[in-house]
Amino acid sequence: MLLGITALGEVPSGTMVRRGGARVGDRLLVSGSIGDAALGLKLRQKPAAAWGDALSYPVRAALVDRYLHPRARLPLAPHLRAHARAAMDVSDGLVGDLAKMMRAADLSAEIEIDPIPLSDAARAALAVEPGLLDVALTGGDDYEILCAVDPAAVPALQAAAERAGVPLTEIGTVTEGGAPPVLRDAKGEIRHFRSGSFSHF
C-alpha cells in the first residue's frame, strides 16, 4: 500500500522566507541536531549495522526514534519570518541541502564541522565508528531547519529559538561565488564527502 499526503499552508503577505534569499556575509544556522535519523535508519536496515552492537539500548532507541518520528520545527516559523533571509528544511542531508540553498542564491559558503550540533546518541555512535560522520552529515531525514541570517539579527533569532525550545547553532558563513560550499574540520582542512545528500532516484 502507498499513502501520499500533500500539506498546504499560507503565510502573511510578503513574509515568505525562501531558500534563495541569502546574502554574502550572512551567518548560517541549523536547528536541533543533525544525523540522528540517518544513523537510526542504518540500525533499522538488514543486516543491522555492526557498530550498533556496541551501543547501549537507550542510544539505539534514541537514534531509531528520530528516524521513525520526525519532529516538525513549527515553533521556529514566526521567528524565521521575522529574522531569516533564507531558510529550508534539511531533509536530504545537511551537506546536500546546504548546496541547494547556495545554488538558489548563486553564492557559496564556508562551514565549520565542529560546531554542527550532534546529539549525545550520535556522538556515542561516532565514538564507536568515526566514519559515521559522513552518514550523519549527508544521510537525510533530519527535518531540521537551515537558515541564513544577517549577523546583526543572529542574537535575537537565537534567543527566540531558545524560548521556543528549538535551539539554533551557528555553523558557517555565506560567501561570494557559485562554487560548492566548503566544509572544514577542526584543523581547517577541507572535508570531502562521497555523496552530498540522499538521492531519491
Cβ atoms < 10 Å from Cβ of 175: 16
122, part of any domain: yes
Residues 72-112 pLDDT 10s: 999 999 999 999 999 999 999 999 999 999 999 999 999 99
Total structural domains in the chain? Answer: 1
Cβ(123)–Cβ(191) below 8 Å: no
Cβ atoms 49, 55 nearer than 8 A: no
pLDDT digits (tens, 9 = 90+) for 138-197: 999 999 999 999 999 999 999 999 999 999 999 999 999 989 999 999 999 999 887 654
User: How far is CA 88 from each of CA 18, 22, 188, rounded to the nearest angstrom?
Assistant: 7, 11, 27
| Alpha-carbon gap, residue 36 to 14, rounded angstroms | 34
Q: Where do the H-state alpha helices sit in 31-113?
A: 36-44, 57-68, 77-83, 94-105
Residue 130 lies in a domain: yes
Domain of residue 79 covers: 27-184
